[in-house]
Amino acid sequence: MPRRQKGDVMKVVVIGGTGLIGSKLVAKLGEHGHEAVAASPRTGVNTLTGEGLAEAMAGTQVVVDVSNSPSFEPAAVMEFFETSTRNLLAAEADAGVGHHVALSVVGTERMPENGYFAAKIAQEQLIQKSGIPYSLVHATQFFEFVRGIADEATQDDTVRIAPVLFQPIAGDDVAAAVGRVAVDRPLNGRIEIAGPDLFRMDEFFRETLAGWGDPRQVVTDPHARYFGAELKERSLVPEDGATLGTIRYADWPGRDATGR
């Protein structure tokens, strides 16, 4: 496939286009002159039922899937990603879409006991077997999810965090990286993206909660589970060669608001 030129204007359908990353991605693609379509149940496109998919795919060159399951219960999240991805890929095949991009998570293959990660692996396998040229973007945890990670790790008034490596990334950097992949030729493989700074996870959360004025105590626990999975030193960080964002957590405008 010939390499796309920077001046090429494309129709890009963003599944999950009204969410955190999707809305940022739609805006960034539009700023560069592309026809970016925000597709979600809110805009009449439902990948679970198939509603609106055929209409959205008409004339589309690229589909980017940044959608997420409304439930993280293992069976529900598996059902969401498998059903949604099958319906989406079928619609793309019918419409002749030439590039499918999916946002996934760094470390999915390292923690199969995590129900969410297992569902993302299943999603990726469907994409890889579909015959549609594809690109997978594996991202580390978003800055915007830091509060949720702390809350999930809380027991009584303590936050139990493993002393492992942690390299979170800003949502704006995620959207920028996904956008660059979307308008380039398919990788038929994956890239990893992460924030510019590497932390020890327990120290990061201890400092962050203190900065919020949060009274919870962060306890270092090597066996603390991350959404059901025990972590190893590098479970959550990319391999060498990852694409790094430019926004540091210390400089991120939402850093203080995350604790409210």
User: What is residue 70's DSSP assignment?
Assistant: S
> What is the percent of the chain with per-residue pLDDT over 90, rounded to a whole number?
88
Q: How confident is the model at residue 5 (pLDDT cuts 50, 70, 90)?
A: very low
Note whether 17 and 40 are within 8 A (CB). Answer: yes
Mean pLDDT, rounded, of the chain: 94
SS3 48: coil
Per-residue pLDDT, 7: 56
- Nearest C-alpha neighbor of 204 from the set 240, 250, 136: 250
Q: Is residue 11 classed as helix, strand or coil in its secondary structure? A: strand
CATH of span 11-143+168-196+239-247: 3.40.50.720
Is the confidence at residue 107, as pLDDT, over 50?
A: yes
Query: Which segment of 5-9, 107-111, 226-230 scores lowest on mean pLDDT?
Result: 5-9
Taking residues 162-174, report their average pLDDT.
98
Tell me phi and psi for residue 2, to 5 degrees.
-65, 145
1 pLDDT band, cuts 50/70/90, is very low
**Integer Cα distance of 155 and 32 in angstroms:** 46
Spatial neighbors of 210 by CB under 8 A, at least 6 apart, are none
Determine the pLDDT at residue 256.
79
Please tell me the predicted confidence (pLDDT) of residue 169: 98
d(CA 105, CA 116): 10
- What one-character DSSP code corresponds to residue 178? H
Output the pLDDT for position 113.
82
Q: At what angle do helices 20-31 and 171-182 cross, to 10 degrees?
A: 50
Average pLDDT of the residues in 79-89: 98
- pLDDT, residue 204, reads 98
**How large is the average pLDDT for residues 199-225?**
96
Residues 39-83: pLDDT tens digits?
999 999 999 999 999 999 999 999 999 999 988 899 999 999 999
**Average pLDDT rounded to a whole number, residues 194-217:** 97
Q: Is residue 259 over pLDDT 90?
A: no
The number of beta carbons lying within 10 Å of the beta carbon of residue 33 is 11
pLDDT in tens, 125-150: 999 999 999 999 999 999 999 999 99
Res 257: pLDDT? 62
Other residues' Cβ atoms within 10 Å of the Cβ of residue 253:
10
Question: Does residue 236 or residue 109 have the better pLDDT?
Answer: 236
pLDDT above 90 (res 14): yes
The pairing of strands 134-139 and 99-105 is parallel
